[in-house]
Structure 1
Amino acid sequence: MRDIASTNDARNALIKEIDETSLPFGMVALWCLGQASFIMKGGSTTIYIDPFTIEDALAESRYGLRRTYPSAVRPEEITNADYCLITHDHVDHLDPDTIQAMAAQAWETVFFAPACCKDTLLGLGVRADRLHIADTREEYSGQAVIKPIAAAHEELSTDREGFHEYVGYIIRLNGVTLYHAGDTLIYDGLQARLSEEEIDVGLLPINGRDFYRGERGIVGNMNYREAAELANGAGFKMTVPMHYDLFAGNAERPGYFVDYVYDHFPSLPIHVMARGERFIFVADSAVK
């Protein structure tokens, strides 16, 4: 397996690999950039979710965030996004450097974000006619079907107009249904809602929360046990853990998630993303 984070040439190779990936109906390719940053492609449609690609030195000097490994792609290299989905306004999910570069270079990219992020995104150069509010009461149909879903980070929060400030996304792409949870705890009704959606691939945070991280202002998520229970209860066909590897002060060992699933739900399919990996999911519809 190649290391996409080692050289400039290798970084450019990631975009090349995405562009050259072509999959038939019923298949989706995933790439993980760390934390909750994912790229997915189905058919000819490429979606970035929470792209956090700021360079190490800038992340530390501006935000006090010390990455444990460098970004696999630089902001100025992202020119192939059909959609960019933002789950909330924390900098490791709404990265100003990445969004500004994407807005300047890929004018046709369609952005989704909670209403509280609107002014920030417009200030970064996102075109108003390409920006959609992630309203959990609606869904959008285009090259993909995109359904925002409420997230509780660490609680369900809405603005004065009733828009949720934290969201995840249910995405129907090329015959595959995916769920990116964003940053969230499990709240009443979430498992039942996801069961109804018949999720093929679920991307769930596993880093958890505790008193000491809360004291440092780190807002928490479900932990690896809760993620496994949710995936099993909602009937995910494949579960990919996330949000555990990019910052040492807010990390978790994915092996704990693997062990818990092995001990309690040995028939539950899971996959831990390797750095630089292209993971291809094949839905039942592709093999019938």
Structure 2
Amino acid sequence: MVEKHIVDSLETWFYEETDKIPVNSMQFAWVGQAGFLFKTKSIRLGIDLYLSDSLARKYQGGEFPHKRMVDIPIPPDSLTNLDVVLCSHGHTDHMDKETLTPLFSDGKGPLVIAPRYEVSRLLDMGIPSSRIVGLSEGESFLMKEGIAIHAIPAAHEELTYDSWGQIKALGFVVDMGFVSWYHSGDTVRFPSLCESIKTWNPSLCFLPVNGKKPHLTEKGIIGNLSIAEAGNLAKDIGASLLIPHHFGMFDFNTVAEDSIISTLSDQGWEKDATFILPSLKTIYTYTNERK
């Protein structure tokens, strides 16, 4: 079961004590692109957070200026109480220096879990080595709270490895005990993906829907699952709830919300029941009533 409510401020929500969260429940909020924040009674977690305008500054005046279509919903220096941040790969809208470094402003900071392929990038950002966990496909990390994080291979748009065999991009299955969920990062479908995910039996899927666009791929802006491909993948792994992402941030690389709704509805997904179209400043509370 999922309930939702709109808030005036994500900062206020994120800093609220977790004892108000029901047993066997998690709350999550979309912060744009592929980014989400999660809260349970025991942990605060973020994934693929892009909470700056660094790409707009980098590409200002270029063919693809990367101007945000939405405001930054929460400043990164308001997230110093995060326990862990997952980064699926090294692209800035998933691993952003201007988002990550403020998390360590108080001298502490979260664990940052990312592909081992990208650990040197995190070190170059100034992230303390003691706070970095590098994973490659098939590996897992068990947190002290009993939460297990499993590394799933991702192909963005191809499976890419370094000379040591470390994969460049990951998705993650996060097992919180009462629920497991899968966040793909950026990926297209490849033969072993479905079985890699099904191993961990996630109930929720967070999947990109912006697809592949040849004119962007030629320019080095590589693609993802389409809306229909995301719907099919979620069905094939047996997920009960699909949450699309990777839309509504940059005007040159997005899809219309109406298209997401109509395509998934045509596949048999039911809006607000089996799929959620996330919106900003909305808190979603998922409860596993069977536990």
> Normalising by structure 1, what TM-score?
0.90
Q: Distance in 2 between matches of 1:21 and 1:59?
A: 37
For 1:99, give the aligned amino acid.
Answer: L
Q: Distance in 2 between matches of 1:285 and 1:35?
A: 31
Q: Distance in 1 between matches of 2:161 and 2:45?
A: 26
Q: Which residue of 2 aligns with 1:126?
A: 127
Q: Distance in 1 between matches of 2:250 and 2:264?
A: 24
Matches within 5 A, 1:81-160: 81-105=82-106, 107-142=108-143, 143=145, 144-160=147-163
For 1:254, give the aligned amino acid.
Answer: E
Q: Distance in 2 between matches of 1:279 and 1:217?
A: 34
State which drifts further: 129-138 or 261-270.
Answer: 261-270
1:234 aligns with 2:237: yes
Q: Distance in 1 between matches of 2:258 and 2:135?
A: 33
Write out per-residue CA displacement over residues 100-125 of structure 1, whole angstroms, 9 at most, x where no aligned residue: 11133361411111123212212222
Equivalent pair of 1:28/1:173 in contact (CA under 8 Å): no
User: Cα 1:37–1:128, aligned 2, differ >3 Å: closer, same or farther?
Assistant: same
For 2:11, give the aligned amino acid.
Answer: N
More helix by proportion, 1 or 2?
A: 1
Write out per-residue CA displacement over residues 95-149 of structure 1, whole angstroms, 9 at most, x where no aligned residue: 1111111133361411111123212212222221221112223211112210111
Unaligned runs of 5+ in 1: 5-9
CA deviation after TM superposition for structure 1 residue 198, in Å: 1.6
Equivalent pair of 1:228/1:257 in contact (CA under 8 Å): no
Q: Distance in 2 between matches of 1:188 and 1:54?
A: 35
State which drifts further: 120-129 or 266-275.
Answer: 266-275
1:62 aligned to 54, 58, 64, which one? Answer: 58
Q: Which residue of 2 aligns with 1:279?
A: 284
Q: Distance in 2 between matches of 1:278 and 1:233?
A: 27
Aligned Cα RMSD in Å? Answer: 2.0
Q: Distance in 2 between matches of 1:215 and 1:225?
A: 23
Q: Distance in 1 between matches of 2:215 and 2:69?
A: 20
Equivalent pair of 2:115/2:168 in contact (CA under 8 Å): yes
CA deviation after TM superposition for structure 1 residue 76, in Å: 1.6
User: Cα 1:266–1:203, aligned 2, differ >3 Å: closer, same or farther?
Assistant: closer
Q: Distance in 2 between matches of 1:103 and 1:43?
A: 23
Unaligned runs of 5+ in 2: 60-64
Paired residue secondary structure (2:118): helix
2:247 aligned to 244, 248, 253, which one? Answer: 244
Equivalent pair of 2:204/2:240 in contact (CA under 8 Å): yes
- Identity of aligned pairs, percent? 24
Write out per-residue CA displacement over residues 252-285 of structure 1, whole angstroms, 9 at most, x where no aligned residue: 1233232223222246811111211001112243
Paired residue secondary structure (2:234): helix
Give the aligned length: 278
Q: Which residue of 2 aligns with 1:7?
A: none
Matches within 5 A, 1:25-44: 25-44=23-42
User: Cα 1:109–1:194, aligned 2, differ >3 Å: closer, same or farther?
Assistant: same
1:46 aligns with 2:44: yes
Q: Distance in 2 between matches of 1:252 and 1:21?
A: 38
Q: Which residue of 2 aligns with 1:168?
A: 171
